[in-house]
Amino acid sequence: MSWLTRARKGINIFKPHEEGDRPQKREIPENLWSKCPSCGDLCYHKELAGNLWVCFQCGYHYPIDAMRYFELLLDEDSFEETHTGMVSRDPLNFRDSMKYKDRIKQSREKTGREDAVITGLGRIEGMPVALAVMDFKFMGGSMGSVVGEKIARCMKDALSQQIPLIIVSRSGGARMQESILSLMQLAKTSSLLARMSEQSLPYISILTHPTTGGVTASYAMLGDVNLAEPKALIGFAGPRVIKQTINTDLPEGFQSSEFLLEHGMVDRIVHRKDFRAEIADLLSFMWKDAERHRVGDEPSDAGDDDEQLPVEPPRV
């Protein structure tokens, strides 16, 4: 058979085979490359993973799994997960295109997690911290009763042990399926942050792409220091909604971390690889007990007496 005839029929790509054997189609792995959403450069996944999923060409920070932030921020083998076993209920019997309880079940099966936040205790360069990381894969990182309760308990851990708090936010906002119960979490978490401020306990907020809605309107923007990843979308409502509300053209990129830094709503934009060192420096400067804890002393129990009491299970 001539080359032209083979070309017209289509050249099959088969593994070498012996005469009489059935040819086998070569298996080509999928998802080896991705196109950078910012610059359009083709990025090889293996190289991206080695660069903490940051584009080599433009520095775009790809979204990463929530557990990766614990690995990035905390000392090795220091993480201890807390406040597990809580699952959202369906107090309103809510249904849109599917039942809310079915959405919860679907998200739990997809992510292997109970809800849209992971909380725990750990150390950063020897300094103990309470840490919460939101998981966007679970219903867009939306905040319902369980998310608000777990973050509130994480704040109470910081209060009772007199240690700093760090929250990594990535969320679409308050969960509409729980209505007012979701909105109540804004007030609950904000009031606990006020108590931390009264006791001079540092709170560092890390904003990643995207951080929007009720999460932005509460604890995400209430940090003593607000850090953000480059080119992250940070805002309350979407650009289209805001434009329709105020009937005014909006500045280009007005909800980016760079725009917020320029207008004083974010304190610093930090590359993902530098977060751990940056936070360690901030805690050394902000926290009066940093050096004492760094050399291995146990955290003090100087919190309020009511913080030592067991926390009631959430009514969700």
204: phi then psi, degrees, rounded to nearest 5 = -110, 125
Residue 296 in this model has a pLDDT that exceeds 90: no
**What are the tens digits of pLDDT across the range 173-193?**
999 999 999 999 999 999 999
Three state DSSP letters for the chain: CCHHHHHHHCCCCECCCCCCCCCCECCCCCCCEEECCCCCCEEEHHHHHHCCCECCCCCCECCCCHHHHHHHHCCCCCCEEECCCCCCCCCCCCECCCEHHHHHHHHHHHHCCCCCEEEEEEEECCEEEEEEEECCCCHHHCECHHHHHHHHHHHHHHHHHCCCEEEEEEECCECHHHCHHHHHHHHHHHHHHHHHHHCCCCEEEEEEEEECHHHHCCHHHCCCEEEECCCCEECCCCHHHHHHHHCCCCCCCCCEHHHHHHCCCCCEECCHHHHHHHHHHHHHHHCCCHHHHHCCCCCCCCCCHHHHCCCCCCCC
**What are the tens digits of pLDDT across the range 29-65?**
567 888 888 888 888 888 888 899 999 888 889 999 9
Distance separating alpha carbons of residues 177 and 180, to the nearest angstrom: 9
Contacts of 274 (CB under 8 A, 6+ apart): none
Q: Residue 142 is encoded by which pair of tokens? A: 């939306």
How high is the mean pLDDT of the chain? 86
Q: What is the pTM of this model?
A: 0.82
pLDDT of residue 39: 87
Q: To which residue do tokens 């309470």 refer?
A: 130
The residue-averaged pLDDT of 114-141 equals 97
**What are the tens digits of pLDDT across the range 232-243?**
999 998 788 888
pLDDT of residue 5: 52
pLDDT of residue 160: 97
Q: How far is CA 160 from CA 40, 132, 199, 280, in A?
A: 48, 16, 11, 21
**Residue of 168, 156, 147 lying closest to 87 (CA atoms):** 147
